[in-house]
A and B are shown apart, each in its own frame.
Chain A
Amino acid sequence: MVRIGAFLVGLFFSGWLLISFLVGAVAYVTEPPAVTVEHEFHRDPKHVSFSFDGPFGTFDQAQLQRGFQVFKEVCSACHSLKFVAFRDLKGIGYNDAEIKAIAKNWAIKTPDVDPKTGEMSTRAPVPADYFPKPFANNVAAAAANNNAIPPDLSLMTKARHHGSAYVYSLITGFQPQPAELLKEFPDAKTPQGLHYNPYFANLNLAMAPPLTADGQVTYGDGTKASVDQMAQDVAAFLTWTAEPKLENRRRAGLATIFFLLIATGLAYMAYQNIWADKKKAA
């Protein structure tokens, strides 16, 4: 009874799936799916190497500080960094006094309640504060940015495939729309107010190129601030903001795996030991 029922159910599901397949195959042959402009012109992130690549890579603190400077002077006007606090900057090599000064002089103020009047007001951030958001809310952000909300950058490099290279490629990837694209897809012209970028998922990005000229930022450590250098630095900084415990994690992993290898080796010897008499013929 079970087997007859099973046979019928199996026949139904398998049969209908095969019929669905035939319907789909006929449609696929008669009307092949149109190639989309994204499919043809979207590019994977460029190859770029960072000090934290590979299982034993570590952050380059000078680079993180340069990247922070780019974030501070360029990105932070529009993008928030809401999961990072000023105190966290200790992780990229600033000391308490420096952090206090950075917080105090930060261009955007932290919203707070006036202790005397109870009205909403703002004050200078302190180290314990998170980076204040440039816009009070999403509506304000959209209104100020041509209806596009600048995303929070705290986790950006973990929120995209190959995130570090993605950020670098996106920043350096703005270019005029290729002529062959417009020839093949005449309707896909980049709309007014958007910017063509093959590293962006749908090719047209609301953000204007943020880094436009060499020397846009003046580095304190004397590094030449080429667009490429600045893009790499800020990508490195955003890798740190997304995964500040990366170095701790890799160090802990090394110790753990080293220990486990020895323990497992011993366990294997103990196992062979205990089974020694059973693996021989009785």
Chain B
Amino acid sequence: MAIVEHMESEGATVSGGSGSDGVRRRDFINIAAVSFAGVGAVAVVVPLIDQMNPSADVLALASTEVDLSSIQPGQAIKTTFRSQPLFVRHLTDKEIAEADKVDIASLRDPQTLEQRTVDGKKQWLITMGVCTHLGCVPLGAGEGENRGEFGGYFCPCHGSSYDTAARIRKGPAPKNLEVPKYSFTSDTAILVG
């Protein structure tokens, strides 16, 4: 129907009505027809664009449940959330103390450990495993991996080091590791997303 769209400009020249009222009424019909075709064309574009949004099966995996019961203090696991790595870490008291000791004012992205964990569940540090520099996966969640000089995570791509609260301490990354939205569904289980 797009072909009709050029009609507007010529409509007036071809409608050979006699009175001026007649001409105006005829033009109105041509303009209305072209406008309607235009509205239709726009309406058709909506589903054409919407089909590229995440489909229902992708959205169904938009939240992940994690069972915490088997993670011992000092251990961390790497799981996935929305197809990206998710770090779940059970901090030891020592690590919590180290994180609390840091002077917030000296941080590049000032946040306390409390702000990065759930009230009363300070030992559970849940962050995305995506370096805020260029999106590499930092080391430190796996057994025996390099945790960098601040004992948290270390990104091997460009040497960003994160501390035990997964805050950026050294290297090019601008932000702390992102904490996704999550909630505890029981004492030992969380729902992320």
Contacts and interface: CB of A to CB of B under 8 A. Distances in A.
A and B, direct touch (CB closer than 8 Å): yes
Interface string A250-263: 00000000011011
Interface string B1-41: 10010010001001110000000001001101110110010
Interface stretch (B56-64, B101-109, B124-132, B140-148): B56-64
A19 to B, nearest CB: 52
A97 to B, nearest CB: 12
A266 B40 contact: no
Given A127-B60, A128-B60, A267 B15 contact: no
A85 B37 contact: no
A273 B29 contact: yes
Contacts of A269: 29, 33
Given A87-B56, A267-B33, A274 B15 contact: yes
B43 A270 contact: no
B37 A273 contact: no
A273 to B, nearest CB: 5
Contacts of A87: 56, 60
Contact of A259 (B16, B43, B56): B43
B40 A260 contact: yes
Contact of B30 (A260, A263, A273): A273
Interface string A263-282: 10011011001101100000
Contacts of B65: 126
Contacts of A270: 4, 7, 11, 29-30, 32-34
Nearest to B79: A115
A270 B56 CA distance: 43
Interface string B164-179: 0000000000000000
Nearest to B65: A126
24 contacts: A87-B60, A126-B65, A128-B60, A259-B36, A259-B43, A262-B36, A263-B33, A263-B36, A263-B40, A266-B32, A267-B4, A267-B33, A269-B29, A269-B33, A270-B4, A270-B7, A270-B11, A270-B33, A273-B11, A273-B30, A274-B7, A274-B11, A276-B16, A277-B14
Given A263-B1, A273-B15, A276-B15, 19 more contacts: A87-B56, A126-B65, A128-B57, A128-B60, A128-B61, A260-B40, A262-B36, A263-B36, A263-B37, A266-B29, A267-B1, A267-B33, A269-B29, A273-B11, A273-B26, A273-B30, A274-B11, A274-B14, A274-B15
Interface of B: 1, 4, 7, 11, 14-16, 26, 29-30, 32-34, 36-37, 40, 43, 56-57, 60-61, 65
